Amino acid sequence: MSATAATPDDLSHSDHAHEHPKQSFLWKYIFSTDHKIIGLQYGITSLLFLLVGFFLMMVMRWSIAFPGKPLPLIGTIIGDNWAPGGVVSPDLYNMFGAMHGTIMVFLGVVPLGFAAFGNYVVPLQIGAVDMAFPKLNAWSFWLFLIGGVMMLASFFMPTGSAQVGWTNYSPLATTVQYLDVKNIFFTGQTQWLLSMIFIISSSLLGAVNFVTTILNVRCRGMTWMRMPFFVWAMLVTGFLLLLAFPPLEVAAILQLFDRVFGSSFFLPTGLVEGGRHLDIAGGGSPLLYQHLFWFLGHPEVYVLILPAISIVAEIIPCHVRRPLWGHKTMIYAVLVLGFLSFIVWAHHMYLTGMGTVVSTFFQITTVLISVPSVILLTCLMITLWGGSIRFNSAMLFACAFLPMFGIGGLTGLPLAFNMIDLYLHDTYYVIGHFHYVVAPGSLFALFAGIYHWYPKMAGRFMNETLGRIHFWPSLVFMNLLFGPMMIQGMAGFHRRWYDGGMAFEETTKSFLWMNELMSFAAWGLALAQIPFIFNVFYSIKHGKKVTSDNPWQATTMEWDTPTPPGHGNFLHEPVAYRQPYEYSVTGAEEDYQPQFLPDGAKPEDKLTHAGH
């Protein structure tokens, strides 16, 4: 869809001699190496994956709210094997739970935040004609797609897909779908590992490309401190992906060895499965898997949140008409955050009985890492102070991001402490906590980004009324959905219960009614996304047309390009003349001084490009 959005009707005016006017559709939009097209490809695929992940979750919410009752319509479609009589079986719940987590994290939010927005916006913001390695960029997308398709195909293995949670802990992940299968290779668990290897390789290529681009392909005048916060955050995210993913790749490869070659990396001696002694050597360590997994796992949550928070950091100054408060502070904060995120991982493992020394270490670093996060959020809030805020859809989502992310972050603090985590670990409190970060947090920021950059991509604004119909119900439902989870969690509700706690009715009964509330909120949330989906398509052709290349009167370099930007992006050599957020500069005639504005020129001169 956005492929047509990017159709540069007016590209013909651009004077790039080397452009082939008659490139076939296939090469131009499918096998393109242009960073903007690749960004859109990532965007479309990841939004589709988000939808799939969302669908899985809605089925799970039925099972939680109405355990044992047949799920109307979908239950029968799913088939007798997984939903006998239309009732969601525990196995189906496990399968959907594992795949919801995996799809949302690795195929939804990360590709949307990092790869889609990063690809589209980063080269534009640093004044580059493309990424440093365009072909590698295309490879990265195609590897991602292969991984994603394999992940979806694993639903149709005889065993169904992976069922051991997105964390895929050994030994369970090794020993399920292990005995009594015809071919260990064609099992959901094995396919999960293989597709993860594709996804990881894709991330690595992408990360190399991003970091190289940012380090080496900045335009003239784009010094380190003139880079917008978004670019800084992407640089740090790139490093997180680059250095944190390989240990997960190791974990995946070793687990693959365990499953396919029968080794015992993560399998202790004397393991029994289904009453049978497994035919393995033993002597391995399940904890090794957890260490390798969480070495990625924690940096990964910053990969989920940094693109989001930095999109908000681009939107707020523009729609508040005030410079980003503490641009430099935020840069240092994000660098410290990136560093610390590598040495906090074992706070996910307090319950494994690890030594007190190392536990203390991880408690300290975990508390420390909250400091830069708080700095980032505070800077964004101070930026709002005294501004003249434009409340359009982008800004509404950006503003809602702040308290939502705030709640998510603050509820995480108690979990940093061993003593508290021993109680709260693996309860719905944790589910509520991190969903506040990734759902009304990351997702809202990503929506904001779509509303904000859509005019540059499509040449038209998204519809504001639909935007509001999207925003307000989403905000309400998100809180109805995740707020009660915290309460249930403190009451001892365990995560990954397919029946929402019905089996322990004695102790859970006073909180069971919340299940229905949350489930209806989830389905309401789904309805609230319909205006958004409609809006995206509708506005391609029918949105309000932009009259300027810089419709928001923004200051960063991406608004110096024609709309939409053609191959090669800029019509003249881009130069950064000043800091990225020069709004309301004292003494200046206009209330903003774009980064690409030469001294003495007026912003209006830069609003449109000749030939429009």
Partner 1 sequence: MEIPFTVKPRPDTGLWNAKVGIWLFLASEVMLFGGLFSAYIFLRIGADFPWPVHVLKVPLGFINTFVLIFSSVTVLQAWLALKMRQYTRYKIWMALTILCALGFMVIKAFEYSDKIHHYGVRMQDGSVLEGHLANGEYNVKFGEVTTVTLATRATSKGLFNINLVSPASDAGFLKFITSGNPEFKDTSGKTVTLNSAEISRLVKDAEKNKQPTIKLTTMAPLKFAINPSKIADYTASKVIFKDGTEIEGKLEDDTLRLEADMVDLRRLFPLNEDRIKDALAAVQNADAWRVLPAEWKEKFLVHNKKETDKFIKKHKGHNPMENADFVRDAFSMPISLHADGGHAAEPEKKADHKAAVSTNHDAPHAEEGGHHDHPEIAIEKKDIAFYSNFTPKYNNYYAIYFALTGLHGLHVMAGALVLTYMLFFGKRIYKVNPEHQANRVETVGLFWHFVDLVWIFLFPLLYLM
Partner 2 sequence: MSHDHHDHDSPEYLKKQSLLVWKIGGWLIVFTCLTVWLQYVDFGSHSRNVIIGLLLAAFKASLVALIFMHLKSERGLIYKFLAFTVIFVIGLFALTYLHYVSPLYTEGLF
Binding site for partner 1 (CB under 8 A): 16, 77-82, 128-130, 132-134, 136, 153, 155-161, 179-183, 186, 204, 207-209, 211-212, 215-217, 242-247, 249-251, 253-254, 257, 261-265, 269, 276, 279-285, 288, 291-292, 295, 568-570
Helix (H) or strand (E) holding 272: strand 272-273
Distance CA 563, CA 6 (A): 9
φ/ψ of residue 84, rounded to 5: -65, 125
- Residue 568 touches which of partner 1, Cu ion, partner 2, none (Cβ within 5-8 Å per kind): partner 1
Question: Which tokens in the block code for residue 135?
Answer: 């072909």
User: HSE of 297 in the Cβ direction (CA atoms, 13 Å)?
Assistant: 21
Smallest separation (angstroms) from partner 2 to the CB of 442: 24
Smallest separation (angstroms) from partner 2 to the CB of 343: 5
Binding site for partner 2 (CB under 8 A): 215, 239, 243, 247, 287-288, 291, 295, 339, 342-343, 346, 354-358, 361-362
Q: Which of 36, 61, 259, 298 binds Cu ion (CB under 5 A)?
A: 298
- Residue 358 touches which of ligand HEM, partner 2, Cu ion, none (Cβ within 5-8 Å per kind): partner 2
Q: Is 384 in the site for ligand HEM (CB under 6 A)?
A: no
Residues in 164-183 at the binding interface with ligand HEM, rule: CB under 6 A: 165-167
Residues in 487-506 at the binding interface with ligand HEM, rule: CB under 6 A: 495-496
- Residue 510 touches which of ligand HEM, partner 1, partner 2, none (Cβ within 5-8 Å per kind): none
Dihedral, CA of residue 509, residue 514, residue 520 and residue 526, to nearest 10: -130
340 vs 394 by CB, closer to partner 2: 340
Whose structure tokens read 């005048």? Answer: 221
Rg (CA), the chain: 25
- Residue 298 touches which of ligand HEM, partner 2, Cu ion, none (Cβ within 5-8 Å per kind): Cu ion
Distance CA 470, CA 487 (A): 27
Beta bridge partners of 273: 276
Smallest separation (angstroms) from partner 2 to the CB of 170: 15
Spell out the alpha helix ranges (H) of 413-458. 418-424, 428-437, 444-458
524 vs 568 by CB, closer to ligand HEM: 524
Beta bridge partners of 492: none
CB of 406 closer than 8 Å to CB of 432: no
Measured between alpha carbons, how far is residue 471 from residues 58, 310, 410, 465, 522 in Å?
Answer: 20, 20, 23, 10, 15
At 277, is the secondary structure helix, strand, or coil?
A: strand
153 vs 364 by CB, closer to partner 1: 153
298 vs 567 by CB, closer to Cu ion: 298
CB atoms within 10 A of CB 81: 11
Beta bridge partners of 592: 583
Binding site for ligand HEM (CB under 6 A): 57, 60-61, 97-98, 100-101, 104-105, 109, 165-167, 304, 431, 435, 438-439, 443, 481, 495-496, 522
